[in-house]
Amino acid sequence: MMSAFDAFELSTQVGDAWQLTLYNSLCFDHRRWQLLYSAGSGKHPPRRETYVSAGFERFPIKAVGTGNRTETLAERRRACWAEGVTFVADLKHAGGPTMGIAHFAKRILRLWGILRHPEAYNLPAPSRVVFPATSAAHLKHSWPSAMLKLIAPTTARVAAEELMRSRCCYEHVIVSSRSNTYFVRKEDAEELRTRAHRLAAVAEAPRACADGRLNICYFKRSEGKSGGKWEGGERLIVNLKEVLLEMETATRRVGGTLRVVSANSSHTFEHQVGLFSSCDIMVSVHGSHNANLMWMHGGSAFMELNPHLFYYSSYKELAEVSGVLYLPSRRNSIAHTTNNALAAKAARFKKDFAHLDDAHCQDVSACRNLARNLPTMINMTDFAHNFERGIQHVHASRDGCSTPTRVFSGASWLTSSSRAPRATAESAGPLGGGRA
């Protein structure tokens, strides 16, 4: 049966939502992908626009001329030849067991999007997935391992170390250059969430709240190596007590439950799914662990607390495609600090990057890297307003919930109720760490 690979000789750009490029007989040698072509008299190298893909982020691709492509491939085939279709799941965060789950998700969910539409691509199912920037240790970890089980359970996995040890040629290769994207269609997000809920043995339908109670969570990020193997850097919220007091007051007025939850990369995928799916509203500082918001039920709400000038839209887009209301907290400031080193960094940051807004700061690596590591003062006016929006939204979306009456208390709109809250602290639910 003919497939898309039979329609071209070397490579072709598909022009789809995932920005795929397909290759026939692509080789890996000396930390470089090689597209071999016959360079005899009158022969010209392939045009760059037909084979170059941003999907090769750790190791670049290069067209390499050879006297006779067929003979060269026959010789290479005797050394190492991978038959069938190979999907390359690359991302520029390269090497070692330091990846957060968000980075891994954005690699492998490209494949999920393709596999969900076999009729659109006319591609054979991949025999293997190659991870140029993911270590074998990371692939064995619960979160990546479970995602592969859900998405491509029968495919072989080639980690970065194995790829670099071999001089191998691959019969057919698929690469996607779509970046910072989890899903392009809501139905794909819904199907993966359903599979994850089944694997984790959690309810697939949103919890009805006939008693009017909401489960509200604040996620305390795990940091450094002490809490788990792949945790990232600090995200210091200086006025965290004020944030939690605002949440507690609002929760009390709707008779809900407030939990401070935390988890790290030592927890399983199933625990992480269970934790996020149990929350009607999740408030969390920016970080890779927030990829787990894809497991929250439709109709839930998620608030991302961003450091000053640190923002990119991937979690907003993930929430929207997952049917979760995204609540912004972007107009935050750099907190005053008595730490001389941090104070000097803050002063330099303000001097160098005050002309940028939070979206454009992400285009400047020095701005982006410094912004996320400075202490943050949350804008409480914005926080209270958007947290109230989340309460109203969840009440409207849950069966058995009556929309609470809003009353103004202090600087924020809150909902009236005489019930006392149940506030608990919890260390559960599994999260991968790492920077996002």
The whole-model pTM stands at 0.87
**298 CB-near residues (< 8 Å, 6+ apart):** 190, 206, 322, 323, 324, 397
DSSP reduced 3-state for 37 = strand
Which amino acid appears at position 286 of this protein? Answer: H
Separation of alpha carbons 260 and 295, rounded Å: 18
For the chain, 436 residues long, give each residue's pLDDT as a single digit of tens: 789 999 999 999 999 999 999 999 999 998 999 999 999 767 889 999 999 999 999 999 999 999 999 999 999 999 999 999 999 999 765 444 456 889 899 999 999 999 998 888 999 999 999 999 998 988 999 999 999 999 999 999 999 999 999 899 999 999 999 988 999 999 999 999 999 999 999 987 776 654 558 999 999 986 544 445 555 566 789 999 999 999 999 999 998 999 999 877 778 999 999 999 999 999 999 988 999 999 999 999 999 999 999 998 999 999 999 999 999 999 999 998 888 888 999 999 999 999 999 999 999 999 998 998 899 999 999 999 999 999 999 999 986 665 554 433 333 333 333 333 344 444 333 333 333 4
Q: Which two tokens stand for residue 269?
A: 């995928």
How far apart CA 333 and CA 346 sit, in angstroms, is: 11
Residue 302 β-bridge partners: 282, 326
Q: How far is CA 163 from CA 58, 82, 84, 178, 436, in A?
A: 12, 12, 17, 22, 25
| DSSP SS3 for 175 | strand
What are the structural domain ranges in the chain? 4-176, 211-427
The secondary structure of 406-434 as a DSSP string is EEEETTEEEE---PPPEEEEEE-S-----
The helix/strand/coil state of 192 is helix
Cα dihedral sign, 315-316-319-324: positive
Of residues 20, 21, 25, 73, the one with CA closest to residue 47: 21
Phi-psi region of 426 (alpha: psi -120 to 50; beta: other; left: phi over 0): beta
Burial class (CB within 10 angstroms; exposed 0-12, middle 13-18, buried 19+) of 9:
exposed
Question: For residues 128 and 21, what is the distance between their CA atoms, to the nearest angstrom?
Answer: 17
Return the number of other C-beta atoms located less than 10 Å from residue 339's C-beta. 10
Spatial contact of 170 and 28, defined as CB atoms under 8 Å apart:
yes
